[in-house]
Structure 1
Amino acid sequence: MDKTAAPLPEPAQASAIAAPARWWRTWWRSLSPTRQDRFAALAPLAAVLMFMAAIVAAFWYLRAEEAEREQEALKRDVEYAQQRVRLRLLERQEQLMRIARDLSNQELERPEFVGRAEALISQYPELQAITWIDDKRRIRASHAAPTLASSDLRVAGEVLTPGDTADTFGLARDLQQPVYSQPEASEGDSTPLLQLQVPLNHQGKFSGVVLGEYSIDSLLRYGTPTEVLARYAVTLLDGKSQVLAGTPLAPRNPATQLLPWSPRANEYEVPVSPVGNGLVLRAQAYRTSLGVVGSGLFWLVGTLSAMTAWMLIATWRHTRRRMQAQQALVAETNFRRAMENSILTGMRALDLEGRITYVNAAFCQMTGWSEAELVGLKAPFPYWPDSDYEALYAKLRDEINGNTMAGGFQVRVRRKSGTQFDARLYVSPLIDAHGQQTGWMTSMTDITEPNRIREQLSASYERFTIVLESLDASVSVAPLGSQELLFANKLYRQWFGSQTVGHLQLVAQAGVVPSTASNSTGMDDEDGLMGLPTDPLTSARTENAEIYLPELGKWLEVRSRYLNWVDGRLAQMVIATDITPRRLAEEQAARQTERAQSVSRLITMGEMASSVAHELNQPLTAISNYCSGMVSRIQSGQITEEALLSALQKTAHQAQRAGQIIQRIRAFVKKSEPNRTLADVHSMVNEAVELADIELRRHNVRLTHYVAARLPPVMADTILIEQVLVNLMKNGAEAIQHANRPAPNRSVELRVVPKHIDDHEVVEFSVQDTGKGLAPEVLERLFEAFFSTKQEGMGMGLNLCRSIVESHHGRMQAENLYNGSEVTGCRFSFWLPLAKPVDATTNSVANAQPPRTIA
């Protein structure tokens, strides 16, 4: 079974290829033109950068490959040179080992040893000296090359001194093998040597060594192939990496080693056998690269790529700045166009010949003609009314000639629909960017509505002025701290003229001028209340005062308030109304009230006359009986002095009782001016109870009263308060009589108690009866003047009672009493404030003012 995937059908392949293309087109179209331009500008830059990166990568790869080939060649050459040096050392070692074998077998004597050493040294330049040393470290024979330094020469018979050679001698003795060593060079000797000590073994016994000394420099020169020396810088190093022979290359700048085109040091080293790590052969490849000159193509391509990238970036930045300038220009143009189309002022441009070259949307909307219908037209224009051609022609000639008014001029404009409206035109020269005038710019504003509002304001001002001039009150407005009169109506001018004296006189006598303003001398125009907040002053309620002006012979009611004048100054408006007729009517009403009170008391006493006569009949009858009895008993001589004295005392008591009744009635009905004094509540209630008890007994009504103990005195007119109490108790008795209550339920109760009302200490008087109460409609009008529920009543009793109470700064009220839903009576109550210490002036003023009726 073939497991390879079947190829896609052609439609599927086409759709698989078209899907990325569709996605690319969709993504590209979703971008804004600015982003498309940005991507289009970045694509060449990205291509140049990619090309430059490819060139750098290619050069790096080629250099890396070249360095690898050079390293392989160097490695082969160094290993080849190391083999050559090793073979040369092994050959010399073999020759020295033959000499050592011959010496161990005693086949060589000293002359033969010297001869063979001389032959080897002359044949092989690297050999510098061959020395025979016995087991006592004594030199038996030695031969050296002429090039060997005198310090390194060895003389027969000498003994090795302790040092490198002596140490190696012991090592060769111990190991019984050839040993290589590098003795330290003596001071002043710069030729390093390589020593080889081959041990001598005679019949299994150590008998010395053969010491061979090599010149390391000659070993390098003659042992290394010439082609290697020509291609590389070959050196021999010791175990401490110190150069023994050869000239190494100078070190290169490590800062340039990281660059891909910078030449790297190509070297290789290997230890030389059989010496081991004590002698290392190192080869450094000479610089085969051409450097900057050889990398000219690279630099040329890099420079061209950098220049291309820089030019692309500069072009992209220039294009971006141009696009930004273009966008700013388009935005500015759109903004100016939107601003021109959104303003309500019509704009029209004329050339120097008077031809329309431009109109905005507001101008077209005002006139009804489109821009295509107006641009290019000359006078007469279609929006000119037919009746104004001559005037508009003259205005156009003045406009073209430059004779324009700075404040503009008003014209009538005809719409396309035929309607007309008022407009104001402002004309200014149209200057181009070069400072040359190319025409005239005209702005047109529809002033139909402002004209209508102005006419309405004028008419309103005229009506307002007529109303103020027709007022029967004086109205004046003046700024604080100034002698200027801002406004005065006709009545003010009739009373005081056109000066501020009358205004200031009204303010001063009414006592509504602020202390800061009253101190002004009138010579300074500064506001006396400058710096103070004006809102609390202007929002304060009106202050009222009643004053009398002897100059006019009138009583005036003065009302004052502060207001902000049209120029922002704080001013004071004073309205003075003539209230002389009202004051005369009030005085007459006060006199009538006094008369009504007296009449009420007389009527009350008239109604109580029979009861008073009955009350007086008892003491008078008692007096007559006492007198008749005393006369008869005196005539018969049957009376004693004690009985006579007792009868006379009883007679005097009854006469005193009758006199008190007459005196109380006279005081009650006597006409007198109100006199408020400190009054004792107990005495006042007792007097009223004695006066009312007679009338209540006539109606068979029981009277009870309760007065709280230790009540403080009140400031009141006792006669007037007694009148109120008597009237209330008499009304309660009449209500019980009218209700036909049975005897157990016929009672009137008077209670006097202290009370606390509205944060004030008062004394409350309440009169409670057991009648049928008052209907709701009666309660609403109970204290009205001339309203009464009695057929024979005048409707003044309760009204006078309420006026008396309120003149004493008290309050009176009435309410029904209920037992469940049944009305069981009515209660009238009023309260008087407690007495307060007052001075003589206040007392005299209080006594001088009559009680006023307040509905």
Structure 2
Amino acid sequence: MNPSDGAETPAPTAGRHRWSRRWALWALLVTLLAALLSTLVWLAGRYESSQVQSRMEQDVVQTATDIRGALTRNVQSMQALQASSPGPEAWRVPATELLHAHREIMRLEWRDMALATVSHVETPYRLSVFERLGRDNTQADVGFACAAARRFSGPAYSTSYFLPQADGLGLEVLDMCLPVSTAGRLAGYLVATYSLPDMLSELAGRQLTRGQGLAFTEADGTRLAMHGNPARGSRAYVAQHLLDLPGNTMVLRLERQVGTPALFPNLLTALVAAMSIALVAVLALLGRDMRRRLKVEHDLADALAFRKAMEDSLVTGMRARDLQGRVTYVNPAFCQMVGLEARELLRHSMPPPYWPPELAEEYQQRQASRLAVGATLPREGFESVFMRRDGSRFPVLIIEAPLINAVGKQTGWMSAILDVSEQRRIEELSRASQDRLQATARLATVGEMASLLSHELNQPLAAISSYATGSLNLLQSAAAEAQPADNSEGLQLAMRRIAEQAERAGKVIKSVHDFVRRREQVREPIAPRLLLDAVMPLVSLQARKLGVRVLMQVDESCAPVLCDRTMVEQVLLNLARNGMQAMQGLDKSRRFDRVLILRVRAAASNAYSRWVEFAVIDHGEGIPEEVARRLFTPFFTTKAEGMGLGLSLCRTVIEQHGGFLGFEPMQPQGTIFTFTLPVAVTVAMSHEAATG
């Protein structure tokens, strides 16, 4: 062998080995594919067989239930035959109708206590089944059935027996014995003879489809009766169920013939085609999948960049916390808000650096209670106070919601945080402006009533002067006579009158002072009557000048209301003055109609709050429709000297208290202005429920 022979020999051998391995791999792949297809076909066949068998089991159970239900209804129909205690002849008429309605009953007999036949009827659909053999030969079966019926105190069935017929064929029947009672005592029996084939056809056969057979068999498999087509061959499915009747037990057998399904060839072809297409297209699918993956990654990077840009552009602070309350994410707006960097906030131990130290314990308890609520936490916002790096505090509004991941599991909480410092400053300026406007309105009201005040104060001051002069005269008279005079009673009376008149003047001055002075708005529980009593001195001044009578109707059972006393008194005084002025246009002959009513009563309530209704009722000329539309508009007035702020301020005050101010016509003439205030106890309970 030359060197060239030794160099060329291994190449064909190596190639053959590579081809052998490749063919072996292909052969293994084909074998696995064939085994897979065979297994799929076999499993599909087993699954189909199990489904067919399962449906048959359900069908035979339902059929047995239908037969038992039909037999029970037959018993009830037979019991109805004896309900009116008919005679033998009268009994035959409904018994014949019963047999017309039930083909499965061949004969119906009425027997006495000795089992002697009193009366009987035969089915009209065929000759008598006992024509050839006679009824006496089956007396033993009837006796056994009736003995069992006495024990059961209900219907009992005999074992089935065969009756040869005149046409050379035979019929399998069974007897049912039903005890008949009169006044609680056994009076006889009803015996019904059932045909087993007719039971199958009438009570259950209507449900059969082509290729099904239904049969009664003994426990050992002996067939007693058959309806439909019996199944034969290897593709026959059988389902059995016991039909347990009182005194007798049979087996109900359902048979079904299933042909070779046409699905398997189509399934095999589809599987082979699918596997072939999959093997050819796998590389194309992998290439397309790679291109799609790259595109998705690029889109994801763009989406993340867009999301980051949005987060950086937000002016609302965003904060995420885990279920333990630790901060897991903050956006730049939140960092700018608290003056801290993100690394100082993320995963920081409790308490966070933006909590004020004096409120840390309270915030810790609030966070624990909110986290304990879980995903049922309401999504409305709540206010809090945060601290900046320099130690300054600022108010924030926090709106919090559960943080749900992609699989629907809660992993923490997501919060939107708004710095409301500027909003609170504007609200404070607005409230201060509102207070100044209300104080100005009160001063304007007092200015209008200045003449009335001077007249009202002049009377008690004049009385004080008169009583003081009289007292001095009494003392001087006693001194001139140089003897003691018994003037103690007169002096005491004069002093009491001086004190009363001084107190009267002081009340008027104090009422005006309390009305016009500015003070902090403080809401406190106060009885409704005290609000009316506080404004009555000023209302009485106006009423005496205008010739108006003022009546108060106060329901003393009303609970105290929670309100700012001065503001509500201003509303009452304003509405009362408007009502009295509205009655000035009445005729002098109707001066008795000038009555102003101040009414207080309980208003409508609901499950969450209770209210008290205040009403100011006048009998004036009413409010025209064109005026009513603009009545509460600021700076709108029908008075030459008015500013147009009274009713607008009144509505603002009542709405700040959570109530409602409105008006309606008074019948037959006048107007009713009403407003509501919350009951103090209800407001306190609602506050406790919200904070708890």
TM-score, normalised via structure 1 length = 0.40
TM-score, normalised via structure 2 length = 0.48
> Which structure is larger by alpha-carbon Rg, 1 or 2?
1
